[in-house]
Structure 1
């Protein structure tokens, strides 16, 4: 019988408070933007770059994004480095919890829900370690922890195999887009679509009580296709219609979703709708995804990349006819189905 003990996070881990103001050049640099939502491994960082960071982390520590905890950013550090003040560095107490297991305790919906509830601030809510350490969870003994950590890392490896398949499938879709529309006339986006640049409403109109219109400030609530609703506002400024494509125009620029309802959009988004019929919006969605590198390249700004109205209006798009659009939509949907079928097979769904 497995014996589980209920513990507080602060009993099995602590915040690392090591800093360095000199010789920082020898450390890799990790900002909040390098942490990928719901990913447990760190895959991006910078080196030999001037920065104001002073917070040190060590290999095996967990880097937790304390700003906007709803983004679910928490990764294990693969090396020693220096990071943003918006990252809490969490160190395992190895006689209480295996360092290999701690990342899965942190990168966990229950902990993020707890962190969101303890965050303070309206536009950029942050949570402190003093609050986070009071997260309570059940923990087995060290022997069982070892088995559990081994299982979870195995699952993570399977997940990454699936992600590689997704990447290859997306590359195939991009190649198909180029091939299908290489001879199609290119026109400005503004000639085939209406574009509404977002504008943030007064912050005192924000609420989570479903009062007013759904409100999206940026891409934080984006999913595979349709945006999900977490926030509402009672004083909307710029409105997107049901069926519109929502594009993130502030870092990270270029990501897109559809909205299935009328909503308010903040300055981090633009709403784009076809001047034809709403069914063509799906073509725009898939086209933007294949053109993401090109869209990202339009971003400007030394600290926060953003796309201005003129750049977005001038984006060159294929002036595709209805049959071309339908053919490309069908190809993408079949590719998406292949991803889903493979994922189901990996989980044993094909058995």
Structure 2
């Protein structure tokens, strides 16, 4: 039997500082990875950390201005870590299973409370005093653990799907290297042709925020996920424009689109192929479109060339602060061009792998739908 109670009855804030400036690992909390260290510069350890907050194992921490996107986690990696003074740190008492509470705060109902109650004129900010007022579905801790065991089984299936997809991607990379070698070193001696001789580039549109009229799908930086292909326009964002973009701004089948500019250097140069078919699809000013005009190269082969690490390094540039890709850099990329029979063989292999990935992805989607349904049942 669920009891709706005040969350503050079960949690308490913890504000112990690293006053002795102990050498404790600095962590951040992200919406995707939870507690992690990769967002800090190497020299952070030399800074004064006496005001940083200590997070013991089993305690929670969240960024008050980012909890609305899921930046909250329970610390389970080390005996103690420290986080920015901006973070809120708290613990749950013995009547609450940490995993149950975390899933509650990340559930749809938890996100709804966060978005409704967080304050701030520029961005949401969830103070601990507000968090304490959240309605909380309290059940005996044994039931909490049972429910989390069900969620864990679903998460295990989702992780298994991710592992299979990762291995399939590695199979493509391995086959590419086996057949063609490194595209920058070109140890197999293929003919090398500048990308500018194989196709043409066009920067995307800079959309005006106040325009209204014709609805059209567009490709933005947020659409560059791990997949390398987009079919149709389903799931893409829409924008209203006063007039339909000219043909040069409408994407066609087999166009390759690159991230041109982004705050993260690692994302610059990420690319995917689009197959909009008869649908209208444009692309934002943070992207560059490349369109093939040569029969010497196949799109799926070229995509793999562009995804190899050494080529990505060339696209990103060697300067520490270069976070922009331009048509000149793209045009100068030297592309190995093996004979068409070898390219065709590789593309057929990729096609077979993609079919397997699609089946696994569909299974993962079903598991995620099941998880959402179970979470809805548990917390709403």
* TM-score normalised by length of structure 1: 0.69
Say if 1:325 and 1:264 are closer, same or farther in 2 by CA, change over 3 A.
Answer: same
2:273 is equivalent to residue 262 of structure 1: no
**Partner of residue 338 from structure 1, selected from 356, 359, 372:** 356
Say if 1:129 and 1:174 are closer, same or farther in 2 by CA, change over 3 A.
Answer: same
Say if 1:340 and 1:199 are closer, same or farther in 2 by CA, change over 3 A.
Answer: closer
**Partner of residue 315 from structure 1, selected from 312, 318, 333:** 333
> 1:174 matched to which residue of 2?
173
Deviation at 1:215, TM superposition (A): 4.0
Q: How does 1:142-181 map to 2 (within 5 A)?
A: 142-181=141-180
Deviation digits for residues 137-174 of structure 1 (CA, Å, limit 9, x no counterpart): 75543221111223323433443344333333222211
When structure 1 is superposed on structure 2, of 280-289 and 171-180 the one drifting more is 280-289
Deviation at 1:315, TM superposition (A): 2.7
| Root mean square deviation of aligned Cα | 4.7
5+ residue gaps, structure 2, are 182-187, 368-380
Contact 2:193 2:336 in 1 (8 A): yes
2:197 is equivalent to residue 191 of structure 1: yes
- Mapped to 1, the partners of 2:219 and 2:117 lie a distance apart of 21
5+ residue gaps, structure 1, are none
Figure out how many residues of one structure are paired with residues of the other and give that number: 332
> 2:258 matched to which residue of 1?
247
Q: How does 1:119-134 map to 2 (within 5 A)?
A: 126-130=123-127, 133=131
Deviation at 1:241, TM superposition (A): 0.9
2:54 is equivalent to residue 49 of structure 1: no
Q: How does 1:58-77 map to 2 (within 5 A)?
A: 58=55, 59-60=57-58, 61=60, 63=62, 66-67=65-66, 75-77=73-75
Deviation at 1:265, TM superposition (A): 0.8
User: Could you say what secondary structure the match of 1:101 adopts?
Assistant: helix
Contact 2:14 2:91 in 1 (8 A): no
**Partner of residue 239 from structure 2, selected from 232, 243, 255:** 232
* TM-score normalised by length of structure 2: 0.65
- Mapped to 2, the partners of 1:232 and 1:308 lie a distance apart of 25
> 1:28 matched to which residue of 2?
26
Contact 1:15 1:90 in 2 (8 A): yes
> 1:299 matched to which residue of 2?
316
User: Could you say what secondary structure the match of 1:102 adopts?
Assistant: helix
> 2:372 matched to which residue of 1?
none
Contact 1:28 1:48 in 2 (8 A): no
- Mapped to 2, the partners of 1:142 and 1:42 lie a distance apart of 28
- Mapped to 1, the partners of 2:157 and 2:249 lie a distance apart of 41
Structure scoring higher RCO (CA < 8 A, sep ≥ 6) equals: 2
